[in-house]
Structure 1
Amino acid sequence: MPARSAIVSKAEPLWIVGYVPASVATERKEVPLTGRIGLIGRQTAVHADLVQASIAKSDAAHSALVASWRRSLQLHHLDPAERKAPRRLTEGELRGARQRMERMIRAAETSLNRLYQAVGGVGCCVMLADRDGIPVERRGAVADDETFDEWGLWTGTVWSEDSEGTNGIGTCLADQRALTIHRDQHFFSRNTLLSCTTAPVCDHEGNLAAALDVSSCRSDLTEGFVQLISVAVGDAARRIEAENFRIVYSNARILLAPVAERGAGALIAVDQDDLVIGATRSARLALGITGEALARGLLAADVLGDQAKAKEDLDDAERGALQRAMARAGGNVSAAAQNLGISRATLHRKLARFEIRRPH
């Protein structure tokens, strides 16, 4: 693998030190080791002071970022100047984490590949983490593997907020919202060269299940490009949710709820009796569907707002059952009666009552 080297772009101020991934490396200027160590030490102290000062000013009441910094410091008892490497799972622990996420990993495969195709060429890696903040699946350029591995952007590294402080994966899971933690927004000074854009992924019941992350240690990521990454990550997260939903309800009809603002993620699963048996988080929020309502039984017509069908009475239901039975039997009254479990005479009376004519 190519050697990892600290660089300073000729167009950058001296205090910005970063790494250009080997997969996109161009001309670069090496930083002497003694100067690099001194510079990193000063940056560590400055960043730690910034975090402490922001928390002391009670900015947490007005800033989600500072609120996360405060949790990191006061709740999780972390030190922003700590330089200890991130914690990593053993091979056995990682294997167990992957097994628990097996279905979600399968659902995410296509979206992970597509997202990596979009961002991998500019020095980003893509990771799917479980709800504990542990990446269990990853996409990245082989040429960048050594660099990303050293930064902890690798499967089995623990990125929960209680372990790594404010960071893309951990804070996304803590706040349960999509976000970007860019460079010095990280809690630990040692992570301030990273830019991480993350979106939550919910399971088929609408519960938080994972986080989808695009991370980079490039020093030249622009705000505009980070915004593009954010949109791509959010879209990919919704596709993963939808695919997982289809896998879980593979024997049901999957319908797209007519709610434009929720996009393709607002899905409901309907059984053979036209009862709603499942709904994605987007559909639950948009249509007011709760777990309790699903347990009681919900008509798809009621949920989707089909008022004409929602007012269907017993006569309408019986008429429909008779028509379906006759159609399946090809107009044969004896066969239809047998399928319905009634006599031929009873079926004739019902056909007459509802004015249902036998097909010719």
Structure 2
Amino acid sequence: MADPGHAEKVLSVLRDGAATPLAASWRRSLTQHHLDPENRKPPEILSEAELRAAQDQMGSLLAAAQDNLDALFQAVGDGGCCVLLTNAEGVPVDRRGVAADDPVFRRWGLWNGAMWSEAREGTNGIGTCIAEQRVLTIHRDQHFHTRNIGLSCTVAPLFDAAGRLAGALDVSSCRPGLEGLTGLVERAVTDAARRIEARAFREAFPKARIVLLPDAGADRASTPMLAVDGDDLVIGASRAARIALKLTDEALRKGLPSPDRTADLNEAERAAVRRALTQTGGNVSAAAAVLGLSRATLNRKLKRLDLVRGREFH
């Protein structure tokens, strides 16, 4: 049942100038999107033709999500939750739910084709996750619209193989008392989102070698992955890899050497130089001749390969 004081709570927080992330979303809803917190109309629904078009536009990401939607629903479905996969506009294009709960979820608009962007629905899990591109939970009266304060939604953004925002993965419930499980649900949603992205990334580069980078925590909802072709050039990078390595589309078009292959080549080159120096008793000129290099070139290699310190060459 809607709280008649919710709208006043939203407005009072904004009047007080609160600087929290929630207040920032409420402020966008009111001043940027010109929404009324007391609006009680349900979300608008796409036509069947529009929904099919939205599903088609999701492409490989929708196909890559199927097994993970099933697995996530198995983990949370018994708690009265449904699972939604949305596009980048906040429209669910696929879902999982218990049949007995479907009529309730449909009434709330937690259904395929519903429009859950922040611009239309104000602060809500799906729309605000997409607007801020981060994992978040919007519990009950944190929603902007009074009619949505019965919902609890935990959502992770989804990024495509080019690192672009492609949608969101949502777990929603109409039951109270889930606040204590927020951490567990966020981890489950985040892990499922990462698996979907990883599978879609691999399928986008079926002939490439996939290189996994150390996860530096750049983005919990995106796996740092590179796709490397037969010439050892990077031809694709996930969003987390782009952030970690500061990669752009232009840099990828120009061609970048694979970090793992570069390391391998450096080690191989270092070993070859050391063997030549050993053979020649540390004589740089003789070692250069063995390697077919000038002495100046070999000196530069000694410095680059960090073979100078603590060694005596002549």
Partner of 1:75: 32
| Counterparts in 2 of 1:209 and 1:100: CA distance versus 1, 3 Å | same
- The residue type equivalent to 1:296 in the other structure is K
Partner of 2:93: 136
Find out whether 1:88 has 2:76 as its counterpart: no
1:308 offset after TM fit, Å?
A: 5.6
Deviations 1:284-333 (CA, angstroms, capped at 9, x unpaired) = 22223222221111110xx34844615988xx9xxxxxxxxxxxxxxxxx
Match of 1:289 among 236, 241, 247: 247
Partner of 1:214: 171
Deviations 1:236-283 (CA, angstroms, capped at 9, x unpaired) = 111111111011101111121134646881111010001110011111
Structure-2 separation of matches of 1:197 and 1:188: 17
| Counterparts in 2 of 1:305 and 1:66: CA distance versus 1, 3 Å | farther
Deviating above 6 A after TM superposition, structure 1's stretches of 4 or more consecutive aligned residues are none
Matches within 5 A, 1:179-190: 179-190=136-147
Find out whether 1:172 has 2:97 as its counterpart: no
Partner of 2:227: 269
CA contact (8 A) 1:127 1:135 kept: yes
Partner of 1:258: 214
Q: When the two structures are superposed, what TM-score results if normalisation uses the length of structure 2?
A: 0.82
Matches within 5 A, 1:260-339: 261=217, 265-300=223-258, 303-304=259-260, 306-307=262-263, 309-310=265-266
- The residue type equivalent to 1:231 in the other structure is R
Unaligned runs of 5+ in 2: 273-290, 293-314
- The residue type equivalent to 1:169 in the other structure is I
Match of 1:162 among 119, 123, 127: 119
Matches within 5 A, 1:320-359: none
Structure-2 separation of matches of 1:108 and 1:133: 16
CA contact (8 A) 2:208 2:229 kept: yes
**Percent same amino acid among aligned pairs?**
52
Partner of 1:204: 161
| Counterparts in 2 of 1:52 and 1:305: CA distance versus 1, 3 Å | farther
Secondary structure, in 3 states, of the residue corresponding to 2:168? strand
| Counterparts in 2 of 1:208 and 1:310: CA distance versus 1, 3 Å | farther
Deviations 1:6-38 (CA, angstroms, capped at 9, x unpaired) = xxxxxxxxxxx5xxxxxxxxxxxxxxxxxxxxx
Structure-1 separation of matches of 2:168 and 2:62: 11
Find out whether 1:225 has 2:181 as its counterpart: yes
Deviations 1:159-181 (CA, angstroms, capped at 9, x unpaired) = 00011000000000111111000
Deviations 1:22-79 (CA, angstroms, capped at 9, x unpaired) = xxxxxxxxxxxxxxxxxx4xx13x10001011111121xx211111111111111110
Q: When the two structures are superposed, what TM-score results if normalisation uses the length of structure 1?
A: 0.71
- The residue type equivalent to 1:89 in the other structure is L
| Counterparts in 2 of 1:277 and 1:309: CA distance versus 1, 3 Å | same
Find out whether 1:105 has 2:52 as its counterpart: no
CA contact (8 A) 1:257 1:304 kept: no
Structure-2 separation of matches of 1:305 and 1:185: 49
1:102 offset after TM fit, Å?
A: 2.7
- The residue type equivalent to 1:115 in the other structure is L
Partner of 1:53: 12
Unaligned runs of 5+ in 1: 1-16, 18-39, 317-352, 355-360
Secondary structure, in 3 states, of the residue corresponding to 1:227? helix
- The residue type equivalent to 1:91 in the other structure is E
CA contact (8 A) 2:84 2:96 kept: yes
Equivalenced residue count is 271
CA contact (8 A) 1:212 1:233 kept: yes
CA contact (8 A) 1:72 1:165 kept: yes
1:86 offset after TM fit, Å?
A: 1.0
